[in-house]
Structure 1
């Protein structure tokens, strides 16, 4: 049995981020979108690093979409925060 290299460990941390974000979404009644999407984005980024070393094209494409959705979610949350601040001002 061979040991895991650094890229595999980075991939495992990315996987933990995505699983953690999904668990957070499931457990919380009103999840913070910055925590949720930020954790998903971090997970996608870390998995992408791992996949660039150990190329698996379908998984790499999946992580690209996962990151894009997370970025969209963060942008939507920023817009919502700005609208709330404008109403309060």
Structure 2
């Protein structure tokens, strides 16, 4: 396994961990942690895909990161309901 493989695996692992934690309700699907894990993981995977010149995954992971940033911003801006 070379350096690009290790970095890419870490990025994808972060995305999968976020998904796993969400599925088992250990983190909220609209929580900051979920969005941040997706942003970081997808950004790492996007960068690694760029390094190995695999542009379909640059597009996929770049889009994933961008959508997660938009989701995070939308979540931050929504009014907080106090119960």
Instruction: Answer yes or no: same fold by TM over 0.5.
Output: yes
Structure with the largest fraction of helix: 1
Inter-partner Cα distance in structure 1 for 2:53 and 2:18: 24
TM-score scaled by length of structure 2: 0.85
Q: How many residues align?
A: 81
Name which one, 1 or 2, has greater alpha-carbon Rg: 1
1:6 to 3, 9, 12: 3
CA distance in 1, matches of 2:26, 2:10: 25
In the alignment, structure 1 segments of 5+ residues that lack a partner are: none
Q: Which residue of 2 aligns with 1:65?
A: 63
| Structure 2: gaps (5+ residues) | none
Structure 1 runs of 4+ with >2 Å offset: none
